[in-house]
Amino acid sequence: MTFFSILIVALTITIIYYMRVQEVSRPSWLKSGSFMSYEQIITYNGESYNESMSWNVTRLSGDSLDLYTMSHSVNTTGGDVVITPAEGNWTVNAFTREILVSSNSYDIGQKIPYWIPTNVREGSAVDTMYGAGRISGSETVFIIDRQRDCWVLEYSWLSKSMIRWYDKSSGACLKVYIILAQLDVTVEITQTAVATNIDL
């Protein structure tokens, strides 16, 4: 092997190692008490309804954390729009974001969507409980009193689409936009961060 070939191999190994370390690194802001609160605006049939959503780290110890979530789910099955409060209690691997214990057994093994690794770039696949989405680009959004540079993560299904905006510096989700279309009913949900103690 020539010196140049050895150098290329060494650089490749270093980059792969760095990427893997970043994929399983714990966010520096993550601690017991970390939280994010969002305003949810649910719109259908020309009417808008203001609700709320939040997540809160209630315990952080070693490589695991307990996460409490409160939200409002929207169900359009049957042609009616039903908005119901929804709570979740999860134990999560702090490094991989994988759900280890959940009040809903089908969540186990999924990855939480509230923050993502910060080393992503345009075209990166990002795994969350909604599946493997792809970073489609970046946008600046006005959140919590100032403009913030965000990665845009997009999902698309047969009767639903979702766009999520993640702060580039912290990895935290700052905004979500969802469209549900089923049985001639279209619902738009906009979820925007309004308060946090995370250093964005």
The 10s digit of each residue's pLDDT in 8-55 is 544 444 443 333 333 457 889 999 999 999 999 999 988 899 999 999
pLDDT reported for residue 17: 35
Q: Is 186 left (phi over 0), alpha (psi -120 to 50) or beta?
A: beta
| Residue-range definition of the domain harbouring residue 190 | 3-196
Structure tokens at 65: 């954390």
More confident residue, 10 or 157: 157
pLDDT reported for residue 81: 84
More confident residue, 70 or 6: 70
Q: Are 199 and 170 in contact (CB under 8 A)?
A: yes
User: pTM above the 0.95 mark?
Assistant: no
pLDDT reported for residue 11: 47
Mean pLDDT to the nearest integer, 170-189:
91
More confident residue, 2 or 123: 123
Q: Which of 129, 125, 130 is nearest to 151 (CA)?
A: 125
pLDDT reported for residue 36: 97
For the chain, the average pLDDT equals: 87
- Report residue 159's pLDDT band, with 50, 70 and 90 as the boundaries: confident
- pLDDT (tens digit per residue) in 86-134: 999 999 999 999 999 998 888 999 999 999 999 999 999 999 999 998 9
Quote the number of domains for the chain.
1
pLDDT reported for residue 24: 57
The percentage of the chain sitting over the pLDDT mark of 70, rounded to a whole number, equals 87
pLDDT reported for residue 1: 62
Place of tokens 């017991």: 32
pLDDT reported for residue 26: 83
The CATH code of the domain that includes 94 is 2.40.360
Mean pLDDT to the nearest integer, 49-64:
95
Q: Are 138 and 128 in contact (CB under 8 A)?
A: no
Structure tokens at 132: 């493997």
